[in-house]
């Protein structure tokens, strides 16, 4: 089930009514309801992979208990590596086996050997990267004695499977979400109302911005030779906003939906296209994944300690692993390497923590310097997105080469209407850049203005919404 579907339009109110009116203040019953609803939400997509989700949940639950009960460090390590090994094993088989098999066959072919390896013909279980990382953070924290294992199987299962975050995050931590699941939750009208605003804004980002951009992007990337260089440039910009509108839109809907049930999820986006350098961009884009890699990979590797070479090496590893996390294709690895290359000068010259405040914090408009910084950061990010979107590195290089053919720059041959939606998005984001989302306007004094804005956004959805089968990050 996807958020922008009629099925979800019926599903959400039913769960909401049962949650607050039938099981009110009975936290155990509410959690059981959330678990059943989450399993239904996931099974509606493909019930055949529900067993994998349940198995992964039970594995981490029981290994967490066993680590806590272990009387020796070796026994504790056994249960820890059992959980990590099985989880990464499932992820590796479903997501990366074909990639490694085909890449190894191509490598042998370069030396004159022909090899044909058996490959899987199954689709990737939706959300496997996200719920696997939920479980991994839990068992790692128990192993490092940062948390105690959860005794309630229902509460732990809700932590892993809570339907707003199940298939595309944000990637939650047990220290943040489990305490909310365990305690009694009271209905908060103001939080719920803002949750509805956040859902509305997320739908606008997805259905109006992302899906309209996707129409142009799909055509341009499918056959770049049919378009002039300016059209390819527009296509690259549209993809930058497609993936932002798509993924940030999903995150907004997820966070807004969770707030309807009295749960606060981790923020995943903080207006990343207003970043003044690549380091700031990665503090604002897919925040839950960036901080996961920071806490569970970068810092254990040594982080910024041990000298400049160690910091450079660890930064490169983080970005390469991040690229590979997104998909089993060399395009994602190149995308990660490019972002590492872009951020490396900031790391070397210790400038990666320069822009930690909000852009134009004390003024309405950015300074000329900030405007140039934002523009350059966006261009670098957009160029890297070309590899992310392309089917192969060869295709990406061809697209990039044709885009940089400045002699072929003429009036774009593609529909430019999505620019209007992008402008609306940027206006709302800019005006609310100090807040949590682009439609956080409860502080507007006059109700008629607030409701006029809500009506405007709703009408944009109604008249300009484009259809889409799924969200981009479902494939990861």
What mean pLDDT, rounded, does the chain reach?
92
| Mean pLDDT of the 426-454 span | 94
Radius of gyration from C-alpha coordinates of the chain: 23
| Mean pLDDT of the 284-313 span | 90
| Residue 476 in this model has a pLDDT that exceeds 90 | no
pLDDT for 368-406, tens place per residue?
A: 999 999 999 999 999 999 999 999 999 999 999 999 998
At residue 84, what are phi and psi to the nearest 5 degrees?
Answer: -60, -45
C-alpha span between 252 and 436 (Å, rounded) = 9
- Residue whose entry in the numeric block shows the structure tokens 């206006």: 427
pLDDT for 199-241, tens place per residue?
A: 999 999 999 999 999 999 999 999 999 999 999 999 999 999 9
Check if the beta carbon of residue 52 is closer than 8 Å to that of residue 67. no
| Mean pLDDT of the 178-189 span | 94
**pLDDT at residue 228, rounded to an integer:** 94
Higher pLDDT, 315 or 467: 315
C-alpha span between 141 and 127 (Å, rounded) = 22
| Mean pLDDT of the 91-120 span | 68
**pLDDT at residue 291, rounded to an integer:** 94
Q: For the chain, which residues make up each domain, given as ranges?
A: 6-184, 190-276+355-475
Given 176, 326, 398, 437, which residue is catalytic? 326
**pLDDT at residue 123, rounded to an integer:** 73
| Residue 98 in this model has a pLDDT that exceeds 70 | no
pLDDT band at 115 (very low <50, low <70, confident <90, very high): low
C-alpha span between 427 and 273 (Å, rounded) = 12
Q: Is 326 a catalytic residue?
A: yes
Contacts of 281 (CB under 8 A, 6+ apart): 272, 275, 377, 381
| Residue 421 in this model has a pLDDT that exceeds 90 | yes
**pLDDT at residue 6, rounded to an integer:** 87
Contacts of 442 (CB under 8 A, 6+ apart): 190, 193, 194, 197, 450
| Residue 302 in this model has a pLDDT that exceeds 90 | no
| Residue 469 in this model has a pLDDT that exceeds 80 | no
Sort 445 into a burial class: Cβ within 10 Å, 0-12 / 13-18 / 19+.
Answer: exposed
Element (H, E) at 367: none
| Span of 40-44, 95-99, 124-128, 403-407 with lowest mean pLDDT | 95-99
| Residue 111 in this model has a pLDDT that exceeds 70 | no
| Residue 363 in this model has a pLDDT that exceeds 90 | yes
| Residue 110 in this model has a pLDDT that exceeds 80 | no
In the chain, % of residues over pLDDT 90: 79
pLDDT for 35-71, tens place per residue?
A: 999 999 999 988 888 999 999 999 999 999 999 999 8
pLDDT for 241-282, tens place per residue?
A: 999 999 999 999 999 999 999 999 999 999 999 999 999 999
| Residue 182 in this model has a pLDDT that exceeds 90 | yes
**pLDDT at residue 106, rounded to an integer:** 63
Cα torsion at 403, 404, 407, 412 (round to 10°)?
30
**pLDDT at residue 109, rounded to an integer:** 64
pLDDT for 30-40, tens place per residue?
A: 999 999 999 99
**pLDDT at residue 167, rounded to an integer:** 87
pLDDT band at 116 (very low <50, low <70, confident <90, very high): low
At residue 55, what are phi and psi to the nearest 5 degrees?
Answer: -60, -45
- Which of 106-110, 241-245, 326-330 has the highest average model confidence (pLDDT)? 241-245
pLDDT band at 172 (very low <50, low <70, confident <90, very high): very high
| Mean pLDDT of the 312-332 span | 92
Check if the beta carbon of residue 389 is closer than 8 Å to that of residue 221. yes
**pLDDT at residue 217, rounded to an integer:** 96
**pLDDT at residue 120, rounded to an integer:** 61
Which of 197, 186, 187 has its CA nearest to residue 443? 197
| Mean pLDDT of the 107-115 span | 66
| Residue 113 in this model has a pLDDT that exceeds 80 | no
At residue 355, what are phi and psi to the nearest 5 degrees?
Answer: -100, 80
């Amino acid at each position: 089930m996807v958020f922008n579907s009629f099925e979800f339009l019926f599903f959400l109110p039913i769960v909401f009514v049962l949650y607050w009116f039938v099981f009110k203040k009975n936290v155990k019953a509410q959690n059981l309801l959330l678990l059943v609803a989450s399993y239904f939400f996931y099974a509606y997509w493909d019930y055949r992979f529900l067993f994998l989700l349940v198995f992964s949940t039970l594995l981490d639950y029981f290994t967490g208990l066993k680590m806590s009960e272990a009387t020796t460090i070796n026994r504790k390590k056994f249960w820890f590596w059992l959980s990590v090994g099985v989880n990464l094993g499932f992820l590796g088989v479903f997501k990366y086996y074909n990639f490694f098999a085909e890449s190894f066959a191509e490598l042998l072919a370069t030396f004159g050997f022909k090899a044909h390896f058996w490959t899987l013909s199954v689709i990737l279980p939706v959300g496997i990267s996200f719920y696997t990382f939920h479980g991994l953070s839990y068992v790692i924290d128990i192993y490092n004695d940062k948390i105690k294992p959860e005794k309630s199987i229902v509460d732990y299962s809700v932590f892993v499977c809570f339907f707003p975050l199940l298939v595309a995050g944000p990637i939650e931590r047990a220290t943040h979400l489990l305490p909310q699941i365990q305690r009694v939750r009271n209905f908060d009208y103001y939080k719920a109302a803002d949750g509805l605003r956040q859902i509305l804004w997320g739908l606008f980002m997805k259905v109006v911005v992302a899906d309209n951009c996707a129409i142009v992007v799909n055509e341009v990337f499918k056959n770049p030779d049919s378009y002039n260089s300016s059209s390819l440039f527009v296509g690259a910009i549209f993809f930058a906003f497609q993936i932002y509108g798509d993924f940030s839109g999903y995150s907004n809907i997820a966070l807004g939906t969770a707030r309807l049930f009295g749960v606060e999820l981790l923020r995943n986006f903080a207006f990343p296209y207003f970043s003044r350098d690549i380091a700031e961009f990665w503090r604002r884009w897919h925040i839950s994944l960036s901080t996961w890699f920071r806490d569970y990979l970068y810092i254990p590797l040594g982080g910024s300690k041990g000298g400049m070479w160690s910091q450079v090496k660890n930064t490169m590893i983080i970005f390469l692993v991040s690229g590979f996390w997104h998909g089993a294709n060399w395009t994602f690895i190149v995308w990660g390497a490019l972002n590492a290359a872009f951020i490396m000068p900031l790391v070397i010259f210790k400038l990666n923590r320069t822009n930690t405040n909000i852009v134009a914090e004390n003024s309405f408009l950015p300074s000329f310097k900030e405007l140039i910084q934002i523009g350059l950061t966006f261009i670098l990010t957009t160029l890297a997105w070309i590899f992310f979107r392309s089917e192969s590195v060869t295709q990406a290089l061809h697209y990039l080469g044709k885009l940089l053919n400045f002699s072929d720059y003429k009036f774009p041959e593609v529909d430019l209407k999505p620019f209007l939606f992008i402008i609306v998005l940027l206006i709302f984001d800019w005006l609310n850049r100090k807040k949590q989302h682009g439609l956080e306007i409860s502080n507007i004094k006059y109700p008629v203005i607030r409701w006029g804005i809500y009506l405007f956004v709703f009408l944009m959805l109604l008249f300009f919404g484009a259809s889409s089968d799924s969200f981009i990050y479902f494939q990861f």
